[in-house]
Amino acid sequence: MSCSRRQRPVPGRSAGAEGAGDAAATRGGADPPRPGGAQRRAALTAPADIDAGLRQLQTLPGIGRWTANYFALRGWQAKDVFLPDDYLIKQRFPGMTPAAIARYARRWQPMRSYALLHIWYTDDWAPAAE
């Protein structure tokens, strides 16, 4: 008697036995929880206090100030984030230190994220003379 394609044994599976994937689905669990999973999920949810959230993000390995702020801007969609030490921002404010750029950007509070994106995407943007 010949086997049709559907009757051929599946690698890693004995006849009539559940495969590993089927067993996980049957018992209601897919993959075991990964270490730090709760911390990762918490980081994906925008906190009520963005500044506290930024400090919390920077406790994670490999996350510095720029990355935390960029994550708040894109991931949390925070409306009042500005990156005064960003490479392109420093180019748009020639001769100004990041501290001076941050002072200049205060005029756009509480919507500095929109100003940041505008400056990034406008090639000929220059700060107004004070």
Annotated catalytic residues are 86
Q: Where are the alpha helices (DSSP H) in the chain?
A: 20-26, 37-44, 50-57, 65-74, 87-92, 98-105, 112-121
C-alpha span between 5 and 113 (Å, rounded)? 58
Enter the tokens of residue 126: 């220059």
Report in angstroms the alpha-carbon separations of 70 from 43, 66, 80, 83.
13, 6, 11, 8
